[in-house]
């Protein structure tokens, strides 16, 4: 069965510092990979996705992620964090075949940004 | 703002009752998915509707059911509510039923079961 592990429940960084959020997955084949962000009281917003090609993908708000097949990882990075980045971040995987886009999410990483 | 609207935003029910949650898809989207997000957890896939038919279901019992209407709006119904059903219920719409296209999420309906 597929699963997504986000080993860091909570991360605190200072504004302007770099950020890396970890994501590991278990799947039968290379899935589609996603990062979503959820602000308090809000739904989920897509930051970026990987489905083929270049393993370094760029997203919105200055985020990027790197897919490493050998490590089954898809870590999210940002070179300089802004206070507005404080939110919860979810990594997700989805099937590359079939008729239903059933995403499997990790349990999330809560990001706190210190001034 | 995604254009996906959900109602109600908050509601409280008692154990054993039934609840209906509603979702209006973003214009042009023909696929709706529902997710349950318990406190401190990531969303879990309940089911997906495409052109008014269920075409994928997660590990949820039959008391979780849904409908999709010709205008692609959707309902999630939960019968015989249990305390563990307390969660944020998220609706997501998309242009297609599969692939890597973006899911557009609503802000959710927060259900509390007492």
Q: In order along chain B (114 residues), what is the average pLDDT of each group of 10 residues?
A: 87 98 90 94 94 91 96 95 97 77 89 98
pLDDT of res. A43: 85
C-alpha closest to that of A98 among A31, A24, A26:
A31
Q: Which of B56, B90, B102 minimises the CB distance to A102? A: B56
β-partners of residue B11 are B111
Half-sphere exposure for B50 (CA within 13 Å, toward CB): 13
Q: Helix (H, G, I), strand (E, B), or coil: what is residue A70? A: helix
Q: Quick one: pLDDT at residue A100?
A: 67
The DSSP bridge pattern shows strands B19-24 and B5-7 to be antiparallel
Mark the ranges of chain A whose per-residue pLDDT is less than 50. none
pLDDT at B97: 63
Report pLDDT for B2: 62
pLDDT at residue B1 in the model: 60
pLDDT of residue A96: 78
Q: What Cα–Cα distance (Å) separates residue A14 from each residue in A19, A27, A94?
A: 10, 34, 32
Would you call B66 an interface residue with chain A, using a CB distance cutoff of 8 Å?
no
Nearest beta carbon to residue B56 from set A92, A97, A100: A100
Is there a contact between A49 and B31 if contact means CB atoms under 8 Å apart?
no
Q: Are A82 and A98 in contact (CB under 8 A)?
A: no
Residue to mutate among A57, A101, A105, with most B CBs inside 10 A, is A101
């Amino acid at each position: 069965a597929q699963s997504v592990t986000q080993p860091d429940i909570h991360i605190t960084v200072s504004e302007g510092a770099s950020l890396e959020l970890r994501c590991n997955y278990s799947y039968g084949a290379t899935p589609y990979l996603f990062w979503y962000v959820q602000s308090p009281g809000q739904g989920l917003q897509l930051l970026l996705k990987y489905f083929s090609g270049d393993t370094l993908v760029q997203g919105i708000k200055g985020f990027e992620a790197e897919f490493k097949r050998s490590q089954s990882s898809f870590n999210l990075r940002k070179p300089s964090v802004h206070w507005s980045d404080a939110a919860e971040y979810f990594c997700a995987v989805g099937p590359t075949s079939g008729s239903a886009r059933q995403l499997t999410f990790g349990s999330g990483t809560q990001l706190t940004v210190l001034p | 703002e995604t254009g996906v609207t959900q109602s109600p935003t908050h509601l409280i029910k008692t154990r054993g009752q039934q609840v209906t949650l509603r979702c209006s898809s973003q214009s042009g989207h023909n696929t709706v998915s529902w997710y349950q997000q318990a406190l401190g957890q990531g969303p879990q896939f309940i089911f997906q509707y495409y052109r008014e038919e269920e075409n994928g279901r997660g590990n949820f019992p039959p008391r979780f059911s849904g409908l999709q209407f010709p205008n692609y709006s959707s309902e999630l119904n939960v019968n015989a509510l249990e305390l563990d059903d307390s969660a944020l219920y998220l609706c997501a719409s998309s242009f297609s039923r599969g692939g890597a296209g973006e899911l557009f999420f609503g802000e959710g309906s927060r259900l509390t079961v007492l």
